[in-house]
Amino acid sequence: MDDALIPKGVKRCPLPEFLMKLGPVVALLLWGVVAMFMCWIKGLNQTNMNDSYGFALWIWADLTVIALGGGAFFTGLLRYIIGKDKLKEILNFAVLIGFICYSSALLILAIDIGQPLRGWFIFWHANVHSMLTEVAFCLTCYFGVLTIEYLPLVLENRQIDRVPFFHNLSHNMHEIMPVFAATGAFLSFFHQGSLGGVAGVLFARPFAYREGIFIWPWTFFLFTWSAAAYGPCFTIMLAKITEKITGKRLVKDDVYALLAKIAGWMMATYVVAKIVDTWYWATVTAPSKGQTLMDFYSNNPFYGIWILILEIGVGGVIPAAILITRKGRRTPFLLVTAVVLGVVGVCVNRWAMVLQVMAVPVLPFEGWPMYYPSWQEVATTLLPVAYGILLVAFSYRYLPVFPQEPELNPIVTEAREPAESEATGGAGDAEMKPAEA
Amino acid sequence: MKHEQAKKYGMVIDLDKCTGCGACMVACMAENNIPFKKDETNKLDSITWMRVYQLTNGKPFPNTDICYIPRPCMHCEGDHGHSPCVSVCPATATDYSLKTGIVSQIYTRCFGCRYCMAACPYHARYFNWWDPVWPDGMEKYLNPDVSPRMRGVVEKCSFCFHRYQLAMNKAFLEGRRELEEAQYQTACAQACPAGAIVFGDLNNTKHRVHRIVQPDPAHGGRPKNPKAFRLLERLGTNPKVYYLSSREWVRRLADHYLPNETPGKGH
């Protein structure tokens, strides 16, 4: 039915089956949309946030998707600036994931603010001292960069590519892509860092506060570093999930291995830095405010020391140890285990730097306020997940997201004939190349 | 203008006098058109610019002792010139006045990101989770000098700034440039039946608040009065609300201390 839109050399399931399988995802999306409009129309009283939890599930989701979307800028940096040419085989997918993550972050932010119609005040009345201002500017600019990086892939759709203007536009955009990759890396360094700074500058919140250099707390650098380390893990994890769902190999093992190796070493160095930071914070910073490490991890029903062990040990040391070894990277089970643990680790880190910051009592005579999200918060947080699945599904179906797919999954003779007869109708097909953006 | 030469309004609350009656909270609510819910049992989303906490020494009877501690916004100056909340607001919707030392909140500019609430260790900032709904007829009794706030913005104690504006207007009309101590007083200070709340200019040696606290400008306004202290002083917030207490356990509960530290000596 939609064969003319499907990239040459690959096989896709029939359109009705494709749409049927996406049915539950669309239902999830609609659930999220209903919750989103409830929040916009009725206000943030639809959430379980309160005056102790001004930041909650949504801000965690924002920080997390931006960290996980870091695979886009870091893979682009490695491909275009460092010259790791092999990574072009997974770069399209990394950009797609980044685009989803950043657009999701912007959407969640639009729901999260109390006066959404005034969202532009952050640009108009910008306070240059605020980390959130830097986040807003860099995040918005970088989303523009990601759109520019994603666009050539869209233009490589078989039918769009037949239009000479779009074909030439796509070609020319490829030519200048290193400029955008460099811009993206520059912007990402600042907004990933600023997101770390959001918590790190809170000098009146001893759990969050960190010293640093000039205006940048250590969390500024740790967040950028962790995004570069864990973002590629998320890219690999989602590529593996896509392979599982489609039942095909989409990326060659040596590409995974190279990205995993770089991510592993980034993670290993990050974990060392994180341990040093934690040690200094526990022994110098917190005591200078009159508190000990265990003040932050006791006398409450949820936040035990396990969360620190889960974040740094299980989600940091173990995956880093796996990924920096050749055997670990080359063994599929270990590779998947490592990237999943890495993703868990960075999610826990962001949770602690948002939710635990709110939970730890600062006034000595106050207790730990606990929080659980309302269904509206959960639904609006799952909304971007559903949107992401849909965008991946449609991109995978109609765009050459994985350049190695035709090579890894040659179409057998009986399947090739109808595909070829379909292809004869498109003069531009012969010129189609794997997207490089 | 150097802040040390300008006005620096602040407050001192004598906890030995405070009975916890809550008159300061009521006066604040009425003066500042603070909205309330039909059901106020959940204090985590109630708005109380002035909130009275009950402290206990944790000892069993007959050694039990309690203390009430009223907590307005501390109007922090910050040890390094930045209030915790002012420096983080992305839209410059809250500001620190070097003329008065008052931390303001611009309701029509706030877009409700709540970063300032995350930054404030005193929980002095409140979010309007709902639009204000007044019981029938009550809108006629609202204070015309204070604008009610809409849903989705943050609000907090302003040290009754509208009273400062009115007093300054009157002073200008009468050809005066300065205010006498009694000409600008907050609603809570006036309402306190025990006279526990004293408000005035910390930089003005004639004002009672200065004479009681004896702030040391060379050390971030730290009080020279041995009975005086501030909440969470060692965090570097440099608050302008001081407390007085003759009880050691109360002073210790005002801040965090390591087991081997003593209040006033540990930092």
Please compute Rg for chain B using Cα positions.
18
Q: What pLDDT score was predicted for residue B217?
A: 86
Q: What pLDDT score was predicted for residue B80?
A: 84
- Is-contact A43 B129, C-beta < 8 A? yes
Whether A422 has a pLDDT exceeding 50, the answer reads: no
What is the distance in angstroms between the Cα of B73 and the nearest Cα belonging to chain A? 14
**Sequence-ordered alpha helix ranges (H) in A43-163:** 57-68, 70-76, 88-112, 121-124, 131-155, 158-161
DSSP E strands: which ranges in chain B?
9-14, 51-56, 66-71, 94-96, 103-105, 125-127, 154-156, 197-201, 215-216, 222-223, 228-229, 241-244
Identify any residues that bridge with B243 across adjacent strands, giving them in sequence order: B13, B229
The verdict on residue A23 lying in a domain is: yes
Whether A420 has a pLDDT exceeding 70, the answer reads: no
Closest CB from A113, A203, A357 relative to B236: A203
Give the number of other CB atoms < 10 A from CB of residue A144. Answer: 15
Q: Do A51 and B45 touch (CB under 8 A)?
A: yes
Q: What pLDDT score was predicted for residue B264?
A: 64
To the nearest whole number, what is the mean pLDDT of chain A?
A: 93
- Rounded Cα–Cα distance for residues A92 and B142 (Å): 60
Name chain B contacts of A122, Cβ cutoff 8 Å. 90-91, 111, 113
Q: Do B44 and A44 touch (CB under 8 A)?
A: no
Name chain A contacts of B55, Cβ cutoff 8 Å. 365
pLDDT per position as a tens digit, A215-233: 899 999 999 999 999 999 9
Quick one: tokens of A331?
A: 């063994």
* A contact test, residue of B155, B235, B249 with most A CBs within 10 A: B235
Give the number of other CB atoms < 10 A from CB of residue A86. Answer: 16
Q: What is the DSSP code string of A319-388?
A: HHHHHTSHHHHHSHHHHHHHHHHHHHHHHHHHHIIIIIHHHS--STT---------HHHHHHHHHHHHHH
Q: What pLDDT score was predicted for residue B1?
A: 57
Name chain A contacts of B257, Cβ cutoff 8 Å. 290
Whether A86 has a pLDDT exceeding 90, the answer reads: yes
What is the distance in angstroms between the Cα of B84 and the nearest Cα belonging to chain A? 7
Closest CB from A129, A205, A290 relative to B256: A290
Whether A297 has a pLDDT exceeding 60, the answer reads: yes
What is the distance in angstroms between the Cα of B257 and the nearest Cα belonging to chain A? 4
Quickly name the fold that domain B3-252 has.
Answer: Alpha-Beta Plaits (3.30.70)
- Rounded Cα–Cα distance for residues B9 and A71 (Å): 51
- Rounded Cα–Cα distance for residues A348 and A206 (Å): 19
- Rounded Cα–Cα distance for residues A132 and A273 (Å): 24
Q: Do B111 and A122 touch (CB under 8 A)?
A: yes
| Domain membership of residue A231 as a residue range | 3-431
Please report which helix (H) or strand (E) contains residue B62, including its range: none
Q: Do A43 and B127 touch (CB under 8 A)?
A: no
pLDDT per position as a tens digit, A331-354: 999 999 999 999 999 999 999 999
pLDDT per position as a tens digit, A116-156: 999 999 999 999 999 999 999 999 999 999 999 999 999 99
- What's the CATH code of the domain at A161? 1.20.1630.10
Mode of pairing for the β-strands spanning B125-127 and B154-156: antiparallel
More confident residue, A387 or A418: A387
Q: What pLDDT score was predicted for residue A428?
A: 38
pLDDT band at A387 (very low <50, low <70, confident <90, very high): very high
- Alpha carbon B13 to chain centroid, angstroms: 10
What is the distance in angstroms between the Cα of B83 and the nearest Cα belonging to chain A? 9
Name chain A contacts of B110, Cβ cutoff 8 Å. 114-115, 118
CB distance from A214 to chain B under 8 Å? no
- Rounded Cα–Cα distance for residues A265 and A261 (Å): 6
The verdict on residue A436 lying in a domain is: no
DSSP E strands: which ranges in B100-226?
103-105, 125-127, 154-156, 197-201, 215-216, 222-223
| Residue labelled with tokens 């030439």 | A168
| Residue labelled with tokens 């003069």 | A427
Summarize the confidence of residues A157-181 as an average pLDDT: 94
Identify any residues that bridge with A216 across adjacent strands, giving them in sequence order: A213
The pTM of the full predicted model, rounded to 2 decimals, is 0.93
Per this entry, what is the length of chain B? Answer: 267
The verdict on residue A35 lying in a domain is: yes
* B contact test, residue of A115, A283, A284, A370 with most B CBs within 10 A: A115
Quick one: tokens of B43?
A: 């204090």
Closest CB from A43, A129, A292 relative to B130: A43
What is the distance in angstroms between the Cα of B151 and the nearest Cα belonging to chain A? 7
Name chain B contacts of A127, Cβ cutoff 8 Å. 87, 89-92
- Rounded Cα–Cα distance for residues B127 and B105 (Å): 12
DSSP assignment letter at B151: T
- Alpha carbon A198 to chain centroid, angstroms: 18
CB distance from A366 to chain B under 8 Å? yes
Closest CB from A287, A290, A366 relative to B255: A290
- How many structural domains does chain A have? 1
Whether A85 has a pLDDT exceeding 50, the answer reads: yes
Residue of A351, A286, A362, A47 lying closest to B114 (CA atoms): A47
Backbone angles phi, psi at B67, to 5 degrees: -150, 140
Q: What pLDDT score was predicted for residue A154?
A: 96
Q: Do B87 and A201 touch (CB under 8 A)?
A: yes
Q: What pLDDT score was predicted for residue B129?
A: 97
- Rounded Cα–Cα distance for residues A275 and B29 (Å): 47
Q: What pLDDT score was predicted for residue A170?
A: 93
CB distance from A367 to chain B under 8 Å? no
- Is-contact B151 B131, C-beta < 8 A? yes
Whether A10 has a pLDDT exceeding 70, the answer reads: yes
Whether A430 has a pLDDT exceeding 60, the answer reads: no
Residue by residue, pLDDT tens for chain B (267 residues) are 566 668 999 999 999 999 999 999 999 999 999 999 999 999 999 999 999 999 999 999 999 999 999 999 999 999 888 899 999 999 999 999 999 999 999 999 999 999 999 999 999 999 999 999 999 999 999 999 999 999 999 999 999 999 999 999 999 999 998 899 999 999 999 999 999 999 999 999 999 999 999 999 888 899 999 999 999 999 999 999 999 999 999 999 999 999 888 776 544
Q: Do B130 and A132 touch (CB under 8 A)?
A: no
Q: Do B253 and A204 touch (CB under 8 A)?
A: no
Q: Do A45 and B232 touch (CB under 8 A)?
A: no
End-to-end CA distance of chain A: 28
The proportion of chain A whose per-residue pLDDT surpasses 70, expressed as a percent, equals 94
* B contact test, residue of A41, A42, A202 with most B CBs within 10 A: A202
Enumerate the domain spans of chain B.
Answer: 3-252
Q: What pLDDT score was predicted for residue B81?
A: 84
Mode of pairing for the β-strands spanning B215-216 and B222-223: antiparallel
ipTM: 0.94
Residue of B250, B231, B227 lying closest to B239 (CA atoms): B231
| Residue labelled with tokens 């003040």 | A295
Residue of B145, B98, B254 lying closest to A364 (CA atoms): B254
- Rounded Cα–Cα distance for residues A160 and A147 (Å): 17
Q: What pLDDT score was predicted for residue A215?
A: 87
